[in-house]
Amino acid sequence: MASSYGCAISAIRNPSRAGRTTPVRFLPSVGDRAERHKPSQEGCNTVAMRFGLVAVLALALPTAAVAATAIGRGTATITAPTGSPRVVLKVEIARTDAERGRGLMNRRSLAAKAGMVFLYPSDHRGGYWMKNTLIPLDIAFYDARGKILRILTMQPCRRDPCRSYDPNVAYRAALEVNAGSFRRWRVRTGDRIAVRATRSG
């Protein structure tokens, strides 16, 4: 076991030395495929090495899975144009395509002063839909300076076709909260949203 484990580690650290491993980003040429089937010059047992490599990867997968599902957290402060604060929320921060795509799907509840912020690297256009979202939500679309451009209320949708809620403006980010919350907090277009991250995803 020690020998095969050592070969597996070698394969991870230096793929070119263990079985002529080819990157998965592209298909190997005919010559590369023939080269990969040559007997090993390192004296590693191929079958043992494969089992060792699988064992090492199996140990690493749970950690990778946790890292992949982690999402950033922080606060979102909404202020009136005069600068007076309206509300401070605890928010999850979705930065990647996967995080934005998942959003608040399948959540059965959301805390009263909580929400999710969807950040984009540049101005973005397009609507949001509520497929597999179980709770009604308010959404505020805002620009790069935090100014709210449009507020919409979205209803859950369990089956297609689901409506698209499009603000018809270019926006840099969006904030989702429980439906009716913006009205209770007297949040309106022209107010500003400032997001502060407290934990990276």
Q: Per DSSP, which regions of the chain are E strands? A: 72-79, 85-94, 114-124, 128-129, 137-142, 148-154, 164-165, 171-178, 192-199
Give the residues of the chain that fall short of pLDDT 50. 1-68
Domain count along the chain: 2
Q: Which residues pair with 171 in a beta bridge?
A: 124
Residues 113 and 18 in one domain: no
Cα 79 from Cα 187, distance rounded (Å): 8
Please report, for the domain that includes residue 141, its CATH number.
2.60.120.1140
Helix ranges (H only) for the chain are 2-13, 30-36, 46-69, 97-102, 181-184
Same domain assignment for residues 11 and 38 = yes
Instruction: Write the CA distances from 7 to 3, 11, 15, 40, 42, integer angstroms.
Output: 6, 6, 10, 11, 9
Burial 173-184 (b: 16+ CB within 10 A, else e): bbbbbbbebbee
Which percentage of the chain shows pLDDT scores above 70?
65
Q: Are 117 and 92 in contact (CB under 8 A)?
A: yes
Q: Are 94 and 56 contained in the same domain? A: no
Which of 45, 67, 89 represents a domain boundary (last residue)? 67
- State residue 47 phi and psi, 5-degree precision: -65, -45
Question: What pLDDT is recorded for position 201?
Answer: 58
pTM above 0.85, yes or no: no
Q: Mark whether 37 and 52 lie in a shared domain.
A: yes
Query: Within this chain, do residues 160 and 106 fall inside the same structural domain, yes or no?
Result: yes
Residues 89 and 182 reside in one and the same domain: yes
Q: Which of 67, 96, 115 finishes a domain?
A: 67
Of 45, 37, 58, the residue nearest 4 (C-alpha) = 45
Same domain for 82 and 35:
no
pLDDT of residue 199: 74
Tell whether 8 and 32 lie within a shared domain: yes
Is there a single domain that holds both residue 188 and residue 119?
yes
The per-residue pLDDT for range 139-182, each reduced to its tens digit, is 999 999 999 999 999 999 988 999 999 999 999 999 999 999 99
Do 51 and 2 touch, CB atoms closer than 8 A?
no
User: Same domain, yes or no, for 165 and 105?
Assistant: yes
- Is the same domain home to 32 and 101? no
Domain that holds residue 37: 2-67
CB 74 within 8 A of CB 199: yes
pLDDT digits (tens, 9 = 90+) for 85-98: 999 999 999 999 99
**With contact defined as beta carbons under 8 Å apart, do 135 and 108 qualify?**
yes
Per-residue model confidence (pLDDT) at position 131 = 93
Q: Tell me, yes or no, whether 172 and 87 share the same domain.
A: yes
